[in-house]
Chain A
Amino acid sequence: MELVLVGLNFRTAPVEVREKVSFSNEQAQRAAEELRTKGILEETLVLSTCNRSEVYGVNPNSNRESANALSLYLSSFHAVRPDMLNPSLYHHYDHDVVRHLFRVSAGLESMLLGEAEILGQVREAYLRAHESHATGPVLNRLFQAALEVGKRVRAETELGTRPMGIASAGMKLAERIFGKLNDRSALVLGAGPISEQVISQLRDRGIGHLYLTNRSREKAEEFARRYNGKAIEWGQWGVALKLPDVIVSAVGAQEPLLTKPMIERAMSARGNRALFLMDLGMPRNIDPAVAGLYSVYLYTMEDLTEIVEQNRDARQGEVPKAESLVEEHIGKFISWQASVELIGVLDVLRDTLKQRRAAFLEERLTGVNHFSPQDREHIGGLMDELIERLLLRPAERLRAEKEHRKKLQSVEAIRDLFLSDREKL
């Protein structure tokens, strides 16, 4: 049983290569099926996000050829030449796979250190693979442990508390005011990439009602369809502004779109309930004087950038804590793996010794006629008992071994000393 990982990420591959090697959900499922039917992997899971494409698997053979087969498969699956793809690929085996995955789900391998989205992506990839029966006992255990690591890192370190992106910083601030956003409403002005990032964050946080408005009505409606929101006519501020608890503006405008009197009227209409405003436009879309209004919280792109910068430094300081959590869980996984390996190797060794015993008796008792079949069976039984007794003590000592690495080393030693290459498989 050996874990293998082949993949690429934003550090090893430019965006052009990452785009070519990314998997849709259907592609991921198909690839996982093919890898198992072709015998390249026994268990498979494909993790594909905008920053990484990775194939995790359990190697049916205890050699490292499956990684090469996996690389070749990736080239053919995505129709990318191997000489173009291979320099971007990394290969990991066994404990390095465990470490890599745990670091990924902890957000330590993310472009934005500690970002929360990756944990959701790992969870989704695992659930899909599990539902399609692509995973087995090893990958199930591995990914459940990875999700646990991710959760603990976010709960127990500042990595999860402090947002790193402009949009997520804004959402975290809104949560400081309202708590969970699932019974709140938001209005997004604009339909550009920044607006899309914010909408995605709002949807991830389960915003109750999402209203969208844009100069181009079609674009607003397209966004509304895509993100299950409601398009509002551009410029109908009297109606639009009294509805939401969160307003995000990211449009190109020379003059402020939302002025102090407009927000004053909106606050009066909403009974002075708190209002959170994010001005992500350049030049600014919201009159800065709005910040002075009662129960109004205004954050501009500049404010949010400053928060993100402060958080970046604070998060960096949390890396050692997160890494120690990762190491703790690696130890737990290795311990589990060692106990599974131990049971497996002892079973194989017992079967091998019994087969050799049978062959030995067959060879030595050929031509010996004074033993009846019952005698031969009795001798066989005695030798089986001897084998069991000989195995008992080493098995007990191995089970009692506290140090996981030592246990695994002993298991490996048994495999090397007593099993042939074929039996090791």
Chain B
Amino acid sequence: MNHTFVILTVIAYLASMGCYIAFLYSGKEFTGRMATLLMFLGLAAHYVSLLIRARGTHTVPYHDLQGSMSLFGWLLAVTYLCLEIYHRQRTVGAFVLPVILAFYFTSYFVPDHPSSVSTPHGVVFALHVTLSILAYAAFALSCVLSLMYLAEERFLKMRRLGDVVWRLPPLELLERMSHTSVLVGLITIAAGTALGFVAVDRLPGQQAYFDPKYVVTLVVLVLYAAYFQLARTAAWRGARASKLCVFNFVLVVLSFTVVNLYLSQHHRYF
């Protein structure tokens, strides 16, 4: 059953990506609408596959790397669709879908080892993890948007306009979209972190402990807050802020991989 939905998800995402790329080149409104519709279908199938997987393993998707990455892909797709609808801009889809697909595919190729660390349960904890992964997804999206900004800005500066530049969103819109995405990430990471402390506090007999993840998360939060503020100042607005956004995301990736796998005792896969 889950296998069927996995295939459906892959087909819908691939078809959606094809339509987004075709839309980028042709600008046909119909193709753009099809891309969004297929993305919705992909999201629905992806959600069902996550649900079946969670029921099958009697655990939430973030107790193993597979589930965690798949959930990340799903939340990235949700964040992107919200942004697409809010800013009425479809051309970004062609650049975001490959990232979503990469996470989705990778989640099925990585070893299926559930975390050996015993993790707490409950609604507060579930919200803590979901909001944290949503924040990472929003930061990933802002990174894609910033990379698009930097590429388009370079093309315009160098006066090298290929076929695609005429179809890309205007620089200032990319900047606004990136701000929106970072704002979503900041709110969710702040709320997610606060809920994490509440969840730990509720654990019976839990001793206070130090986890390097706290420090890294705090640094990520401060750096994104700095980006959000600096991107409005004269010295940083434009390309510099976009570079900072990309740099911040490198740190998020490190937090998601190196810190989780090798340094943190309690944040194995989220």
**Which A residues are closer than 8 A to B by beta carbons?**
155-158, 161-162, 172-173, 175-179, 268, 271-274, 291, 294-295, 297, 299, 303, 306-307, 310, 314
Contacts and interface: CB of A to CB of B under 8 A. Distances in A.
B170 interface: yes
Interface of B: 26-29, 152, 156-157, 159, 161, 163, 165-173, 233-235, 237-240
Name the residue in A162, A176, A294, A306 with the highest tally of chain B Cβ atoms < 10 Å from its Cβ.
A176
Contact of B168 (A176, A297, A307): A176
A307 B171 contact: no
Contact of B156 (A156, A157, A297, A310): A297
A155 B170 contact: no
Contacts of A179: 169-170, 172-173
Contacts of B152: 176
A177 B237 contact: no
B172 A307 contact: no
Nearest to B167: A161
B171 A274 contact: yes
Nearest to B159: A303
B140 to A, nearest CB: 24
Contacts of B26: 156-157
A176 B171 contact: yes
A299 B240 CA distance: 22
A125 B169 CA distance: 33
A295 B239 contact: yes
Contact of A178 (B27, B166, B172, B240): B172
Given A175-B170, A179-B170, A274-B171, A291 B157 contact: yes
A107 to B, nearest CB: 15
A161 B166 contact: yes
A388 to B, nearest CB: 44
Kindly list the 7 A-B residue pairs having the minimum CB-CB distance in the complex, ordered from nearest. Answer: A271-B234, A179-B170, A272-B234, A295-B238, A161-B166, A156-B28, A303-B159
A307 B162 CA distance: 10
Nearest to B237: A272
Contact of A314 (B29, B163, B167): B163
Contact of A295 (B28, B159, B237): B237
Contacts of A310: 161
Contacts of B163: 158, 314
Given A272-B237, A314-B163, 19 more contacts: A156-B26, A156-B28, A156-B29, A157-B26, A161-B27, A172-B166, A173-B156, A176-B156, A176-B166, A176-B168, A178-B172, A271-B237, A273-B237, A294-B238, A295-B239, A297-B156, A299-B159, A303-B159, A307-B159
